[in-house]
Amino acid sequence: MASMKDVARLACVSESTVSRVLNQSVPVDEDTRRRVEDAIKRLNYRPNLLAKGLRSRSGKLIGLVVPEIVHHTFASFIQFIEESVVARGCSLIVGNHKNNPDLEESFIDDLIRRNVDGIIFSRVSDESRVMRLINETGIPVVVIDRAVEKEEVASVVLDNHQAGFLAGDYLGKGGHRKIACVTGPLKISLCRERLTGLNEALTRFQAGVAQDWTYEGDFKFESGYLGAQKLFSAHPEITAVWAQNDLMAVGVMKYLLENGRSIPRDVSVMGMDDISLARMITPSLTTVIQPFSEICEEAVDLLLRQKNNDGSRTEKVVIKPDFVVRESTAFCS
């Protein structure tokens, strides 16, 4: 990785001049400033913000980047990762990329310049561009939740194929054959894996989810509602819906209840994650459990083992899901 000395040499100036350009503390003539900025771009130089006192002085600093801070699922990741990090004498800095690749790249670049001890992140999608940036630095990194199967990076993820299989097996054993699915964004591999697992289980019951019996949502409540509206308008005979997260499942339930459909007498609804909301609503939600605490503990342990040169940069940990039966599902009559 380029240093300030490298920038100064390429721009034919002193290191103190490079510092003045970066800090904008003292005026620098236009030609010199331009040469320094050109050298910074050519060398892809990232100043270490530690020198500016922006790094925490409380100990090891871990960066966590998630799609949305306020989303129930990622709030759970933040909660358990913070607990695990603090228990190990470290500090945590959190940011969200809002599913925007440019924001993701910018925030991770900022973490690198802050000289963090490691980064845990859930990527935008399969189209994420940040791994090249991270690999250039050699900084310890662990991907959680949204990993890409063939990528050479340490990761801790749920067995999403098994999650879909559990949902399909449960609904199939319950006599359901007319089953719909509200997926997450299909450009995220875990959503495709969940759908594949669902269909694999249902084939054992001579059933399956056809393309027009699926709706591609975005993991938010509103897309569950809109998905149910579209699916039941086209296929009122549906007897069960699996939504790939609990928020979308609640959206499905709201649409059904507003339109006179009884849950679970007329339609069974099943979710994914087991966030606290699943237990609070009426009827309470049957759901596939994502063990957030276990995932987060594994991720922090793997990251710190890398930091201590005791862990692999390509180790992959896969956590098995479970499911819990509540009031929102019933046997198909």
Residue whose C-alpha is closest to residue 253's, from 288, 220, 225: 225
Q: Would the pTM count as exceeding 0.85?
A: no
pLDDT band at 55 (very low <50, low <70, confident <90, very high): very low
Per the CB < 8 A criterion, the answer to whether 86 and 92 are in contact is yes
Q: What is the end-to-end Cα distance of the chain in Å, rounded?
A: 65
pLDDT band at 2 (very low <50, low <70, confident <90, very high): confident
Q: Domain 58-158+292-319: what homologous superfamily?
A: Response regulator (3.40.50.2300)
3-state secondary structure of 146: coil
pLDDT score, position 37: 85
The answer regarding whether domain 160-290 maps to CATH 3.40.50.720 reads no
**pLDDT higher than 60, residue 57:** no
Q: Domain 4-45: what homologous superfamily?
A: lambda repressor-like DNA-binding domains (1.10.260.40)
**pLDDT higher than 60, residue 269:** yes
- Angle subtended by helix axes 189-202 and 160-173, to nearest 10: 30
Q: What is the pLDDT of residues 99-149, one digit of tens each?
A: 788 888 888 888 887 888 999 988 877 666 677 777 777 889 999 987 766
Torsional sign, CA 204, 210, 216, 222: negative
pLDDT score, position 56: 41
pLDDT score, position 39: 85
Average pLDDT over residues 168-184: 97
Q: How far is CA 295 from CA 73, 155, 323, in A?
A: 12, 10, 16
Domains 58-158+292-319 and 160-290 share a fold: yes
- Per domain, the residue ranges of the chain are 4-45, 58-158+292-319, 160-290
**pLDDT higher than 50, residue 53:** no
Average pLDDT of the chain to the nearest whole number: 88
